[in-house]
Structures are given as structure tokens and as C-alpha cells.
A and B are shown apart, each in its own frame.
Chain A
């Protein structure tokens, strides 16, 4: 096919519709970005390992070592599975974006995209698709492993599924926006993992993922309660643990869904504010 016939195949008037159909264009190209993101994801074994397999390996190790009960009728594998599902939002949103976006800035992916008529929203739609895909795969595998090797049970009521949905959506939104914010604060991609990974691990230790939250000292509660993971983990326990376990949460406050929603929403707002100010499509080099 010659280029002239290719041009004839293109519908009339497409070139004059940038403003009129901005949203449709952003959604259409956003869909293409999702496809590209997923292709790059499945073709990158290292990243796949980091974001999808790592939590599964952690899960298998922990439930093999800690076999006891955290409360009557609730064993550690159930408690830990809920915490790892909460961590999944951190891996898929925060860790994934805070590491991947600086790499894409350094290797000129972002600069190249910025030099085309791609609507900026399409890039973030693509990233959203990648984050959701990683999260869904992680959660599905964790629930599968949790029910195979532990006593994890699927949410039994519509209300629990609803809780799972809003905690997931709010959690992914907050962690993704914080990941974008951190990606804007990081200068060079080489240092990203060294900054981001310890933050996630420390939060897991103090937020009731690796250890039972109620067994941690009060000062650790005070710190953990500022950050989203403690609330995400609590929210996921309210989905996956028996209702009576609410009585074993520290302070006798139960599941605290209102506070969970508020803290996650606050972090989403903070993340958005910082990301909006600090996101950049390229590092300026002199020359």
C-alpha cells in the first residue's frame, strides 16, 4: 500500500476535532495506552516478579513460619492474607508508579509522548489500567493461595464485597497519586527503588501486615495511623476476617470505616496536590 492510499482511508474531518472531541480522544488513546502498558508489563519478567510474584513469595514464607492463631477461630494466615491484599494496593499503586515513572522520564518515554498530540490524560489512563491489572492479578492470586494454604474465605455478603470495592478503589487512588507525587520528587530513576521499597517495608511492619497490629506498642500505632497502609489493612480485615474479630482490634474501636475512608481520601488529596505540582515530562538538560 502506498502512503497516498493510506491517507485516503482516514475519515474526513478528524484533524479538526481536537477540542470538540477532547474527551473521546483522551479515552480512545487512553485505551491504546492501556494495551501498551499491559504489553510492556507482561514482557518485563523483572517488573512482573517485583510487583506480582514478590507478595506471593512473602505470603508463602510467612504462613509457613507463623502457624498460630491471632484470636479464637482466626489464624495468622487469614490475618496475613488480608494484610498482603492491602499491601497489594501499595505495590500496584505506590511502588509501581514511584519506580516506573522516573524510569520512563529518564529513558525519554515521557518526553517523546509529550512531543506528540497524545492527550496527557491518556498517559494517566494507561497507568491506571496497569495499576488495576497488577492489583487484580495480585489479589486473585493471594485469595487463591490464601484459601488453598490458609483458611481465607471470600467475602460472604454483598456488604463485604462493597467494602472490598470501596477500600480497593480509594486505596489504589491514594497510593497511586502518592506514587506519582514521589516520582515527581525523585530526580533520577536509579535511586527510586532504594527510596521507595524501604518505605513500603517499614509501613508493612508497623501497620499490621507482618505483625498483628494489636501486639504493637502504642507509639508505633501513633505513627502508623498517620499513613494509609494501617487503614487499608484494617479495611481488608473487615472484609476477610470474621465479624467478631472487630472486637480484637486495638482500642475497641472496631472496623472504623469512616476514619479509613477519611485518611485514604486525605492521602489522595495530598498525593494529587504534590503530583500536580511536581510531575514533569522530562528532566531539563543544559545544552
Chain B
């Protein structure tokens, strides 16, 4: 994937991804609630995304990730709270504001009868300062499919077209709602490179994902959404921070595992206990997944 092309372009474009057009955070959300009938999908959510930052919203299905993103994109009204995206209220913002954001949709099956090239060129024409459609198509790896009708694309190719349509307007802020669903591992890697390049060029990115690995790889900051609230937020490293996990097999052949803040002490004690080699010893840092699962089970207990 021609990553360098995108970087150079985003950095040198007049209206490029660099934080132009105002100061202050790209996204600022305070006390936002959203009610569907009797159900509170968002129960007082706070979120702040600085310009140039890449933030991942992580959470189980139904936690409120998509509701949050769609409120920020201007698709849904909120029940209460304040929202500012690139300095404007998405519920009231106009076309000039929409020209500064890019949206990568989930579950779209539109424009099937048009070709990839036709769709990207057509959408480029909506924007005051678009990227070159062919370059965007190349950046998402669809050059060979440029003359193919959208209806014939595979699921992963279709998602890459969604990404291309999110990028073509040269957005300052890019929303990615579960962007790599349906990608094979190689396509996911390529996609990550593309997003990293955009981020390095100064584009602010807010993504939602189920994949912890993706959040850890791409995001400067991860916000975990549970039951319509941000349950934890911080750099992937800080969220991971916690006890080290030591595992071994005990004398009865049972696999044992212990979380400890003093792993060296534990391993020394184990070595003494076994009189040398500890069977199947492993010492691992807590993963983001451990932190995430711990958080979910804590929240579950609290409910």
C-alpha cells in the first residue's frame, strides 16, 4: 500500500489534515445522554479528543459506541448534554462543517451499480478541496477494481471503498465505525498502515472497534465504553498497567496463574519450592484484553 503518497499529500495540501480552522479540542463531549424509549443508551458520557489525536472507542455490542459516534457525526439528536465537534454542534452544523469531517459507514450496500472509480470521483465532487480520486483508490488498494461495479466487490473490498469515501474529502477529522470488520489479516495490516500515515499527517481520528489489537496498534488513547459511559480511558500502556501474570504447572499437574505486583519475588519462591526449574513457567505483562475483560466483569458485578 503506497503509504508515503498519502502522508505527503495530507501534509502538503492547502486544506490538509493539519489542524486548521480553529483551536481547542477536535471533539468535546460533556454529560451526553441518549434515551430510546425506556432505555438509556448513553448515560452521561464525557469524551475529549485533541486535534491530531487518534482515539479508539472500545466496548461490547450495545455499549453505546455507535450511538456516540452517530451523535458526533450529526446523524442522531442527543437527549441531553453538550457536544462540540471541530468547534460546532453537529446537530446544527451545515455543509461547510460536513466538508471538514469524513465518515466511514458501517453496513452500507449502496451504489452497487456504479463502478469504484465512478463512486469515488462523484463523491470527490461534493468537497471544496478533495484528494485525487485515483490516489485515494490506490491508497486503499482498489486500483485493480477501479472499473469494477461495487456490487461485485468482496466484503473487505467494499469496506475499503467505504474508507476511500471517508478520505476523499481531505477531512480534518475522520470517523471510523468498526472499519476493519470483514478484513483478512493482511488487509487489516495494510489498513492500519494507511491510518497510521493519516495520523502522522495530522488527521484527527475517532474509531470504534471490537478488536483490542487494533485499538492498541492505532490509538494514542483508548476509551472503554460500558453501559453508555466511559468506564476507563487512557493510553493503551496505562490501561494495561497493572499486575504481572505468572503461570506455571503445580505438582498435581494443574495449571496455576497468579496476578502479582512482585513477579520476581513469586518466581524466586516458586523456584525454591520446585527446587530449580518451575514446570511451564511463563511471566507475562497484563494485556489490554485482560484489562478490558476485568473491567467488563467489574461492571457486571456492580450492576
Nearest-CB residue, chain A, relative to B175? A115
Contact A40 to B113, CB < 8 A, known contacts A32-B122, A107-B108: yes
> CB within 8 A of A36: which of B15, B16, B122, B131?
B122
Residues of A with C-beta under 8 A to B170: 7
Q: Tell whether, in the assembled complex, residue B128 and residue A108 are in contact, meaning their CB atoms are under 8 Å apart.
A: no
Nearest-CB residue, chain A, relative to B4? A2
Q: Tell whether, in the assembled complex, residue A112 and residue B108 are in contact, meaning their CB atoms are under 8 Å apart.
A: yes
B50-58, B96-104, B254-262: which lies at the A interface?
A: B96-104
Q: Tell whether, in the assembled complex, residue B62 and residue A39 are in contact, meaning their CB atoms are under 8 Å apart.
A: no
Contact A2 to B14, CB < 8 A, known contacts A108-B107, A108-B110: no
B5-13, B79-87, B289-297: which lies at the A interface?
A: B5-13
Q: Tell whether, in the assembled complex, residue A116 and residue B98 are in contact, meaning their CB atoms are under 8 Å apart.
A: yes
Q: Tell whether, in the assembled complex, residue B39 and residue A2 are in contact, meaning their CB atoms are under 8 Å apart.
A: no
Contact mask B88-102 → A, CB, 8 Å, 1/0?
000000111011010
CB of B183 within 8 A of chain A?
no
Q: Which of B14, B15, B95, B98 is the most central at the interface, judged by chain A CB atoms within 10 Å of its CB? A: B95
Contact mask A135-170 → B, CB, 8 Å, 1/0?
000000000000000000000000000000000000
Q: A5 CA to B13 CA in the complex, in Å?
A: 9
Nearest-CB residue, chain A, relative to B108? A108
Q: A7 CA to B12 CA in the complex, in Å?
A: 9
> CB within 8 A of A111: which of B75, B122, B169?
B75
| Interface residues of B, count at CB 8 A | 56
Contact A43 to B113, CB < 8 A, known contacts A115-B73, A116-B98, A117-B96: yes
Contact A18 to B94, CB < 8 A, known contacts A4-B9, A115-B103, A117-B127: yes
Nearest-CB residue, chain B, relative to A110? B110
Q: Tell whether, in the assembled complex, residue B114 and residue A39 are in contact, meaning their CB atoms are under 8 Å apart.
A: yes
Q: Tell whether, in the assembled complex, residue A108 and residue B126 are in contact, meaning their CB atoms are under 8 Å apart.
A: no
CB of B130 within 8 A of chain A?
yes
- Least Cβ distance of A26 to chain B in Å? 10
Q: A36 CA to B110 CA in the complex, in Å?
A: 12
Q: Which of B8, B65, B110, B170 is the most central at the interface, judged by chain A CB atoms within 10 Å of its CB? A: B110
Residues of B with C-beta under 8 A to A6: 9, 130-132, 135
> CB within 8 A of B110: which of A15, A16, A18, A112?
A112
CB of A65 within 8 A of chain B?
no
> Closest 9 interchain pairs by CB?
A3-B9, A6-B132, A15-B128, A108-B108, A109-B110, A115-B103, A117-B99, A117-B95, A43-B113
